[in-house]
Structure 1
Amino acid sequence: MQTKRMFCLLFVLLYLFVLNRAGQSNPTFYIETADKRYVLRKKPPGELLPGAHKIEREYAVQKALYSVGFPVPHSVLYCTDTHVIGTEFYIMEHVQGRIFRDLRLPGVSAAERTALYVAAVETLAKLHSLDVSTLELLGYGKGTGYCKRQVCTWTKQYKASAHKEIPAMDKLSDWLSRNLPTNDNEVSLVHGDFRIDNLIFHPTEARVLAVLDWELSTTGQPIADLAYFLMPHYWPSHYKVISTMGGVTGVEGIPSPDDLISIYCHCRGIPNSLPQQNFFIAMAIFKMAAIAQFIKDAFFICSSTLAMPISKELFMLSPKGQAVLQHVKEFMRKHVLPAQQVSTAVISQAKARAAGLWNLFLPAESGLSQLDYAHIAEETGHCFYSPEVFNCQAPDTGNMEVLHLFGTEEQKRLWLEPLLRGDIRSCFCMTEPDVASSDATNMECTLHKDKDHFIINGKKWWSSGVFSPQHFINIVNVCVHVQMFFRHGLHSMILVPLNTPGVKKIRPLTVFGQDDAIHGGHFEIHFDNVRVPASNILLGEGRGFEIAQGRLGPGRLHHCMRAVGLAEWALELLCQRAAHRQAFGKRLYQHEVVAHWIAECRIAISQSRLLTLHAAHTLDTQGNKAARKQVKYCYFNSYFSLILYAYARTLRIADGPDEVHLSSIALLELRDQRRRAQAKL
């Protein structure tokens, strides 16, 4: 009873992450304590369909299977008290390992694909070899007649979800009803949804550590499970039914259906053949078609209410992005988050670089898209110094992008390569103290050509990274001291080493009294007759605005990505305090005003995340220019807690006031509306 109360309390106190996945109907949460990790499964709120969401069955079957050594998570407790969190729930231990969402297993060798599929089918055979009568599952399932019940159940499901008549589905339903197998009396424990993405594999070995999602489990014909597992072999490899559940035909290393059937039969000690194999494959495909029809119905209802066009895959990561994100999460958990109170960025940097988690922001170096990096950067936002651990810190990310896109080979050798190695740091000097720099055409810092050198004079502030001991190079936005024909051709960008005579660090700047020293602080810098070689100019005189547009798109987006993670961290702190602190006889979260704060924060963060992912997707698919408005959408954010708020507020000073971003959004929206109106004429 004491253990049950402890876990009920943990649910309320700990930060919960919803694990959204296609086809998963019972809400699932990850719970982490100081020394252990758990997973909580609960019934959805509200009125439920009869017979659906029977999480008590999941708990019972997993508990029984764990007791006989079958690979399932250890179920710890089941809570029937709906007053705790609003529904019944159960808690199981978290199993750490690999989950492959794509059945084609990208990112592993052909030999490992073979081994993983063999391990999966051997696990299925092990399940079907268990004696149900010894599992203490009295009354679990209806036994014989499984195939007849399945055909009836999924026919009803399909007809309830279909928007229109599909003759092929009606014919298949009739054919299945007329061709039920003669051996439908065989009974074993069946999973009901056995496929690769419902398995947790060992982190490095081809071994199944746990079988998940027992919601559809029952007793019945075991060959139905095997046929469902083999089903992706029977549709085209490019075809996707749910999420990344595409066909596997022709994928190197994945065994053929005949080979998998042979392994299965050998493990069970039965004849190497499947009577009425066509029926079982057809029934599996019919079941999947019914599920797909239901999901299509739900997706149609949801997507028709969205005002903003989004990717049909809801901004999913690439397979490589998924792998890197998981690696980053594990690295953060082991090496970064435990040391937040004392910055160990330099020590962790060596570990991150050795792990291959380095320069993740730059597609040319990491092979990741902006959308991939959006998810990763959010994760790094949970700790102030973690971007530096992965050499993904501001302002170096934007500066490295500038050098990568616009630098000469010599400039790259001198400054980009050391920056990519993490040997030096950089600074971006744009905003000025004496003018309204939100209008960049006001800038007064000047550039004079003197033979084979340029001379720079002026003042800059909110220049980040200046106080870093590794700081070596500045990128300075300057005004060309000649009369030009157009206002956006007045500026240039030039590389100025910090040790150049005439570069003066005046003072650090603060926000709310805080010295923003996370990445070397923000400084006021004066340039007094600073003389640098003409070869230090970037791209050419008068091309500063062109460079700025190339830098500010991804650069600002990186800030937004990290800020979303920062907001999640702030909300976590808010929830912890609201759950621990008591006032007027109640926990803070039980006071309606605090509960509303939490809800409003969750809504705002979720909105910001979607805006950020949409901007990243637009950058990947349409380029910087097309993504300008989307980037400004997601850049307009606000957060809480003194240090966190000061950090976020700094972004909204150093990178331009809110009003300027809002005005830009309005102008871009007016332009888009005008174009739409003209297109209708």
Structure 2
Amino acid sequence: MPWDFETDPEFQQQLDWVRQFVEEELIPLEPIMVDFTEEQWIAVQEPLKQRVKDQGLWACHLEKELGGQGMGQLPLAQMNMITGRCVYAQEIFGNMAPDSGNAELLAEGGTEAQKAKWLWPNLAGDIRSAFAITEPFVASTDPTQIESSAVLEGDEWVLNGRKWMITNATRADFIIFMVVTEPDAPVHKRCSMIVVEKDTPGMDIFREIPTMHHPHAEYGANGNHAEINLDNVRVSKDNLIGGRGEGFILSQVRLGPGRIHHATRWLGEAERAYDMLCERTLSRSSFGKRYASHQTIQGYIAESRMELEMAKLLTLRAAWKMDKVGHHGARQDIAMVKVNNAKVLFNVIDRALQVHGSLGYSCDMPLESMYRSARMAPLVDGANEVHSVSIARAELKRYEGVEGWPTEHIPSRREESLKRFAHLLEATG
């Protein structure tokens, strides 16, 4: 199948609008975001979201029957490479994680009653959600070790356990928990997805976890990484999404597309850092000449540009393949994009910060915040090491070991090479 990444002229006009909107309306708000109260921030967002909706660009990650645009992964990737330039643009465009992934999960596994209660209001932006899979006492790279549990007692699930690093939990109206419901089943059939609504007795969201990106996190201040304790939390048996033991299957519904969504946004952020790198290079001098004349900085620019272009091609190919064969058929491509783009993001930001010197290290520029945030990229949605193992295993399945030595790539006898050469001469006359 030939690749074709050419942008439709009509969609290009939309992309041009997105770029102008992000650059002129969203990015200028970043320096004062911390000064907004929760209520003020909501009020600021509403007219911005409406402008996105008026352009027909709201929730583009979803199919039309779910209230999205049904544009496919390739156009979405092209758009995300622009919206990724702004830290909160995804919220304005209606595809902010974890809501975006939860919508896909509910669309796949939810009943009509569950969709009416949680999906449609979530898509409209009337309620928020969170997704709880990570636990503090077991390796998150191996979700088969999940310890939090749910036991069916009559018409109610009783949940116990602990989750942490749960994005958006303090703001969420409902949280989807992945818990063990089938302890005696094979490892990938032990877990299920169960919804717990806000203020349910026994669910204690007791802190926002300080992180490299938010070292001074306060409860509810940014809706970022919460720690949750479940102590005999009782919910209706109807809060089970999908079937019992289908947690791992449903998790891939949200995690597969989610990985490439993150990876494309990282490229948008890296491009913004690259812009700052080049602008600084043309604006600064040392040792009697412009930075642009220093070979080291020229190397930074060249390496960054090449890494970005290679990453874009890899990402667009993965998105194109998802449109052709689905996210399951493109698993290896998505894994490569996730691993590679996390590295590119960090590399480009690091070089830009270095060239800015003390200004880049200061909070006067966004680079220091971008730098701290970028360290999370190799960890989220599965550690890079796990994805690398998956890539290697898939690659090795295409090969077979050779018996003895040398291999067919190194002919074992000079006579065989001469015979092949003579055969070629004879065939060509």
Q: TM-score, normalised by structure 2?
A: 0.79
Aligned to 1:400, the other structure's residue is in SS state: helix
Corresponding residue number in structure 1 for 2:416: none
- Matched residue type, 2:304: C
Higher gyration radius (CA): 1
* In 1: Cα distance, 2:98 partner to 2:261 partner: 10
For 1:27-42, list aligned pairs within 5 A. none
The answer on 1:642 being equivalent to 2:342 is no
* In 1: Cα distance, 2:398 partner to 2:168 partner: 37
* In 1: Cα distance, 2:228 partner to 2:400 partner: 43
The answer on 1:534 being equivalent to 2:237 is yes
Runs (5+) with no aligned partner, structure 2: 34-43, 350-366, 402-429
> Alpha-carbon deviation of 1:350?
2.7
CA gap of 1:465–1:584, structure 2 versus 1, over 3 A, is same
**Identity percentage over the alignment?**
37
Corresponding residue number in structure 1 for 2:382: 656
The answer on 1:328 being equivalent to 2:29 is no
* In 1: Cα distance, 2:247 partner to 2:3 partner: 37
CA gap of 1:411–1:317, structure 2 versus 1, over 3 A, is farther
- Matched residue type, 1:396: D
* In 1: Cα distance, 2:398 partner to 2:112 partner: 39
- Matched residue type, 2:12: Q
> Alpha-carbon deviation of 1:507?
2.5
Corresponding residue number in structure 1 for 2:411: none
Aligned to 1:633, the other structure's residue is in SS state: helix
The answer on 1:316 being equivalent to 2:6 is yes
- Matched residue type, 1:370: Q
Contact 1:394 1:519 in 2 (8 A): no
- Matched residue type, 2:22: M
* In 2: Cα distance, 1:674 partner to 1:627 partner: 23
Aligned to 1:394, the other structure's residue is in SS state: coil
Corresponding residue number in structure 2 for 1:564: 267
- Matched residue type, 1:660: V
> Alpha-carbon deviation of 1:515?
4.4
For 1:587-606, list aligned pairs within 5 A. 587-606=290-309
Flag the structure with more relative contact order, 1 or 2, with Cα contacts below 8 A and sequence separation at least 6. Answer: 2
Corresponding residue number in structure 1 for 2:79: 376
The answer on 1:352 being equivalent to 2:49 is no
> Alpha-carbon deviation of 1:652?
2.6
Of 207, 211, 218, the residue aligned with 1:507 is 207
Aligned to 2:206, the other structure's residue is in SS state: strand
CA gap of 1:521–1:633, structure 2 versus 1, over 3 A, is same
- Matched residue type, 1:526: N
Contact 1:460 1:524 in 2 (8 A): yes
1:177-224: per-residue Cα shift (whole Å, max 9, x none)? Answer: xxxxxxxxxxxxxxxxxxxxxxxxxxxxxxxxxxxxxxxxxxxxxxxx
> Alpha-carbon deviation of 1:532?
1.0
* In 2: Cα distance, 1:545 partner to 1:390 partner: 28
Corresponding residue number in structure 2 for 1:583: 286
Runs (5+) with no aligned partner, structure 1: 1-309, 676-681
Aligned to 2:173, the other structure's residue is in SS state: strand
> Alpha-carbon deviation of 1:556?
0.9
For 1:436-585, list aligned pairs within 5 A. 436-468=139-171, 471-484=172-185, 486-512=186-212, 514-515=214-215, 520-585=223-288
Of 7, 28, 51, the residue aligned with 1:338 is 28
CA gap of 1:532–1:420, structure 2 versus 1, over 3 A, is same
* In 2: Cα distance, 1:646 partner to 1:658 partner: 17
Question: How many pairs are equivalent?
Answer: 362
Of 91, 115, 119, the residue aligned with 1:412 is 115
For 1:394-409, list aligned pairs within 5 A. 394-409=97-112
> Alpha-carbon deviation of 1:447?
1.2
* In 1: Cα distance, 2:379 partner to 2:281 partner: 30
* In 2: Cα distance, 1:581 partner to 1:346 partner: 40
The answer on 1:361 being equivalent to 2:34 is no
> Alpha-carbon deviation of 1:338?
3.2
1:88-125: per-residue Cα shift (whole Å, max 9, x none)? Answer: xxxxxxxxxxxxxxxxxxxxxxxxxxxxxxxxxxxxxx
- Matched residue type, 1:421: A
> Alpha-carbon deviation of 1:665?
1.2
> Alpha-carbon deviation of 1:674?
5.6
* In 2: Cα distance, 1:424 partner to 1:610 partner: 36
Corresponding residue number in structure 2 for 1:608: 311
* In 1: Cα distance, 2:312 partner to 2:216 partner: 25
Aligned to 1:525, the other structure's residue is in SS state: strand
For 1:230-309, list aligned pairs within 5 A. none
Corresponding residue number in structure 1 for 2:355: none
* In 2: Cα distance, 1:542 partner to 1:318 partner: 43
> Alpha-carbon deviation of 1:516?
9.2
Contact 1:515 1:521 in 2 (8 A): no
> Alpha-carbon deviation of 1:645?
2.4
| Structural RMSD (CA) | 2.1
Runs of 4 or more, structure 1, over 6 Å off, are 516-519
CA gap of 1:643–1:463, structure 2 versus 1, over 3 A, is same
Structure with greater helix share of residues? 2
Aligned to 2:192, the other structure's residue is in SS state: strand
CA gap of 1:673–1:645, structure 2 versus 1, over 3 A, is farther
Deviation larger for 344-353 or 448-457? 344-353
CA gap of 1:581–1:439, structure 2 versus 1, over 3 A, is same
Aligned to 2:241, the other structure's residue is in SS state: coil
Q: TM-score, normalised by structure 1?
A: 0.51
Contact 2:45 2:92 in 1 (8 A): yes
> Alpha-carbon deviation of 1:432?
0.8
- Matched residue type, 2:114: Q
> Alpha-carbon deviation of 1:581?
2.5
Contact 2:155 2:237 in 1 (8 A): yes
* In 1: Cα distance, 2:101 partner to 2:400 partner: 33
- Matched residue type, 1:488: H
> Alpha-carbon deviation of 1:339?
2.6
